[in-house]
Amino acid sequence: MVLVWIDYQRALVKLVDRYPLYVDQYNSVFISKRRAAPAFVAFLRNQSLDVQGVIFDKLEGAVTKENWRPRYHLLRDLPTRMPKHKPADWVSVLQWAFAVRPPITQDDGFLSTNSHLVEAMASLMERLTARQLLFHTTWWFLQSVGPLASCAILSIADIDERGAVFQKLFCGMHVDYVYNVALAAAHKLRFSEPQRLAAYGILEAVRSSSVENVHALRNVSHQTKSFLESMLNGAKIVLWPDDERVSIRNLGRYYGQLESNESFTSTFSEWRSTRCQVQRFLGDGELDLSSMVFQMYSAQLAAHDFVRNILFVSVAAMASPLYYTRGTSAMLYGGLGSVFGRQLVSVIGAADQLLNGEPSVVPSLEEPRKYFWDDSHCQDADFQALAALSFAHTAYLRSGNKLEDLPLPGLEDFTPEQVFFITFCHILCWFRESGGVPVTKCNGAVKNFPPFASAFSCPPGSPMNPETQCTPF
């Protein structure tokens, strides 16, 4: 959601005279009819654009980081990261929000799945006033639900030729947020059981490769390696929800009884009713079906639940160019396999933060990050893609079905292994209004991977086969 809003707002800002009209339309449809505080209206007209830009820049920097680096925090230690607020402030707010028993105390902790996000929040709290943050949050909420509640607001999105695309993305994200369980269940029916098993087989092969790489780590204690291997082996891989979880009975209980169209006065009223129904089950381990499927995370196609140790892969990854039901083995491992491999690298990178965090999840005097990063001679930007490439390539060589690797139309001159690398690089390209990912991400990985140089006959010492290469594991 953050990334889509950032692109939309940047497109809007380019049309300098459009933003005031944009604000006035919201004011006319929603705000003026509810007697909003004059200070809030003044904020929208005079400050909202600048404040929104500051916040989006910080959030974008946090959510687009490849290594999210989770961290376990104690509430009493938060002032060291967010000095403007005392531990008692956090206790009061969290207790009000969650109303748990026994009450939350300063000695309680929480897991931040993305430490970059905590840093971004701390920076924003230092730079902006509490009122600005409150007004911005209200304004962001209005912008999020406004197009659902008003056709006039939805039409504003059509600011240029990209407007129609934004409208589709916006509606699609709202549908996914509420109906992701039903959509994942329906998506599962598109694949036969052998096809589903084959997809899981690719992911299992890549996981086995990652465990072997961890086991071969040097200068790392047996305790640390055992913890990492146990976490990787013990993680549940989820592509689609279990059949029992998404039975008609459970879906009916989760989404509520189907109502006739006449029961709702608008699309928004139907969306609101269903969302309120779903929220009743949030946090319930047995009934919260949304916790059993992939949920949208920025531009990522996979995610890891550190608390329950579940590896999620989005059903969006089960489509071109990542997955083809008739794709060759090289394509499948180079696509879906490497996407999953990148998530496994994130899990390993996150574990070293938890191992050496405060308090430690596993007692250890070593510095795991030293062995994962510093001794590899890899740049941070190259490490994740390179390690994922290594995982997927090893899995492909060991588990790929070479009988499936027939020549591809238009690519007859390329070997199956070359197709693997082509697919790997293809999926590293993605486009946003602010620009695509530079090709250096692909090159930074493959030029440090000897099998690539061998597959494409790159001479030693050439740009794609340098004499000094980094070795992540």
What pLDDT, in 10s, does the model give residues 166-217? 777 777 778 888 888 999 999 999 999 999 999 999 999 999 999 999 888 8
Which range among 53-67, 95-109, 236-250 shows the weakest confidence by mean pLDDT?
A: 53-67
Torsion, CA 237, CA 241, CA 243, CA 244, rounded to 10: 100
Cβ-based neighbours of 70, under 8 Å, separated by 6 or more:
111, 112, 113, 114, 115, 306, 350, 353, 354
Q: Report pLDDT digits (tens) over 131-168.
A: 999 999 999 888 888 888 888 877 776 656 666 767 77
**Rounded to whole angstroms, how far apart are CA atoms 55 and 132?**
11
With the C-alpha atoms ordered 125, 130, 132, 134, is the resulting torsion angle positive or negative?
positive
- CB atoms under 10 Å from CB of 440, counted, come to 13
pLDDT at 262 over 70: no
Mean pLDDT (whole number) for 97-111 = 87
Q: What's the token pair of residue 131? A: 């009122």
Instruction: Say what the pLDDT of residue 206 is.
Output: 98
**3-state class (DSSP) for residue 416:** helix
CATH code for the structural domain at 191-241+302-308+313-455:
3.40.390.10
Which residues, in sequence order, are CB contacts of 145 under 8 Å at separation 6+? Answer: 268
Provide the residue ranges of all domains of the chain, joining segments of one domain with +.
Answer: 2-181, 191-241+302-308+313-455, 248-294
Helix (H, G, I), strand (E, B) or coil at 95: helix
pLDDT at 11: 67
What sign results for the dihedral spanned by CA atoms 405, 408, 412, 417?
A: negative
**Residue given tokens 């692109």 in the structure block:** 7
Reported as a single tens digit per residue, the pLDDT across 335-358 is: 999 999 988 988 887 776 666 543
> pLDDT averaged over the chain?
82
Average pLDDT over residues 73-82: 88
Q: How many residues does the chain have?
A: 473
How does DSSP classify residue 336?
A: I
**What per-residue confidence (pLDDT) applies to 264?**
67
pLDDT one-digit tens code per residue, 385-422: 888 999 999 999 999 988 888 888 888 899 999 999 99
Q: Give dist(CA 157, CA 159) in Å, integer.
A: 5
Going 184 to 290 to 297 to 167, the CA torsion angle's sign is: positive
Determine the 3-state secondary structure of 304 from DSSP: strand
